[in-house]
Amino acid sequence: MRILVFNTPLTGHFLPLLPLARALRAQGHTVAFVSAAGMAGSVEPEGFELIPAGATTDTAIAEVTRRTGRNLMTDPSPELIAEFFAGARVDLSLDEALAGARAWVPDLIVSEHCDYVGPLVAAVLKLPSAVMAIDPALEPEVLDALAATAHSRYLERGLQAPAHAPSGDWLLDLCPPGLQRGGALPALERIALRPEPHQGPEGTPRAPREPGGGRPRVLVSFSTVPGVTPPLGSVLRSLSALDIDLVATSGGVPADDLGLEPGRVEVVTFLPAAELLDGVSAVVHHGGSGTTFGAAARGIPAVVIPGSAGQQRQANRLQAAGAGVALPIGEQSPEAVTAAVGRLLAEPAFTAAAQRLRDEIAAMPSASEVARRLTASVSASR
């Protein structure tokens, strides 16, 4: 079977799709991705073909500003979120995506839940489609705005517009029950899919890790987008006051520029989450779904420092589950981060709640199981 996978051109929207794509390939299916050409550096090392289509994220954001006169980064209203994902991205990507899909001849379309190009390609080509929910369900007002914005793109092509967002034949849900928003999932056939911490390509040797000093190890992993989270160096210097070992992803910032005591912090430019989380007692992160679900899959509590509405959603759900502390925008000083980490390490209830999430995730179907079920359903529908 030939499967095309669509994603918004952001690493955090690509990595959650990999376990299923790898499982499908291992079962003998042919898998390719459709996204902006700039995603080649992420897709091609995994051994998948990239069909380039559409604009970069920055170009699509600029197009939203041109159309509305408003800045999505400072005004993440439902209308602007919808204009980005279901409006500008679709308009700038669809023609190339359709041409690529027609030439590639897929049997199934899979898209992550913020991608509205894939479902429209599936509708035009009359193909079965699955959507993967990589976060807890979006707020009802955001889903309504997305459906309304997508509506005209279907009508323009003589297609019946979906009644809700996201749309498709199957909903592949990565969110464990303990983090999900009750009653927020669309009326699609739901298939739970176990989230996994990101692992590097098969055969990639693990990087040597620095041994800890016998103290609790805390991972600090922030967004690579400048200005979204507090300065990494300030947070690490504050955390150094605790009796802990630190490991931090630098986002490309040289370790010497962080102003840290030599040897106190292990600084890495990039490691797959599956390696970063080894031996960790707590995580400080910005609320991306990969880190949120990856830490939960290991039973590790977290301090979340969100910089966007989507990240705030993750943070709120984690705090409601008792498995972490959410620091709202404006209350994210290095001292507040340090105090929150101290709570995680001193109060066993946080780890106990994270371990309950770990057990929920372990009970969810694996990527291999879902790959078999999905392709069997497609075959049965022919």
Q: What is the pLDDT of residues 257-305, one digit of tens each?
A: 666 666 678 888 778 888 999 999 999 998 888 889 999 999 999 999 9
Domain carrying residue 299: 217-362
203 domain residue, yes or no: no
**pLDDT higher for 81 or 272?**
81
Alpha helices, DSSP H, located in 34-159 = 40-43, 57-68, 78-82, 89-104, 117-125, 140-155
**What pLDDT shows up at residue 253?**
61
| Nearest alpha-carbon partner for 289 in 145, 162, 134 | 134
| Nearest alpha-carbon partner for 4 in 152, 95, 103 | 103
Q: Span 29-44, mean pLDDT? A: 97
If asked whether residues 282 and 182 sit together in one domain, one would say: no
Contact call for residues 162 and 169 (beta carbons, < 8 A): no
Largest CA distance in the chain: 64
If asked whether residues 241 and 285 sit together in one domain, one would say: yes
The encoded tokens of residue 308 equal 């966007």
16 domain residue, yes or no: yes
If asked whether residues 80 and 179 sit together in one domain, one would say: yes
C-alpha to C-alpha distances, 302 to 15, 287, 325, 344, 382, nearest whole angstrom: 20, 9, 7, 7, 45
Number of domains within the chain = 2
CB-based contacts of 57, cutoff 8 Å, min separation 6: 8, 9, 10, 36
**What pLDDT shows up at residue 159?**
96
If asked whether residues 28 and 89 sit together in one domain, one would say: yes
Q: Residue 50: beta bridge partners? A: 33
Compute and round to an integer the Cα radius of gyration of the chain: 21
If asked whether residues 164 and 223 sit together in one domain, one would say: no
- In the chain, the percentage of residues whose pLDDT exceeds 90 is 66
- State residue 230 phi and psi, 5-degree precision: -60, 160
Query: pLDDT at residue 7 above 80?
Result: yes
If asked whether residues 181 and 82 sit together in one domain, one would say: yes
If asked whether residues 76 and 177 sit together in one domain, one would say: yes
Q: Measured between alpha carbons, how far is 235 from 220 in angstroms, rounded to an integer?
A: 9
Query: pLDDT at residue 120 above 50?
Result: yes
118 domain residue, yes or no: yes
132 domain residue, yes or no: yes
If asked whether residues 236 and 271 sit together in one domain, one would say: yes
**3-class SS of residue 155:** helix
Mean residue pLDDT across the chain = 89
200 domain residue, yes or no: no
**3-class SS of residue 289:** helix
If asked whether residues 289 and 376 sit together in one domain, one would say: no
For CA atoms 241, 245, 251, 253, the dihedral sign is positive
* Burial annotation 333-368 (CB, 10 A radius, 16+ → b, else e): ebebbbebbbbbbeeeebbebbbbbbebbeebeebb
**pLDDT higher for 187 or 53?**
53
* Burial annotation 229-267 (CB, 10 A radius, 16+ → b, else e): bbebbebbbbbeebebbbbbbbeebebeebebeeeebbb
CA angle 4, 18, 29 (to 5 degrees): 45
**3-class SS of residue 330:** coil
Query: pLDDT at residue 227 above 60?
Result: no
207 domain residue, yes or no: no
52 domain residue, yes or no: yes
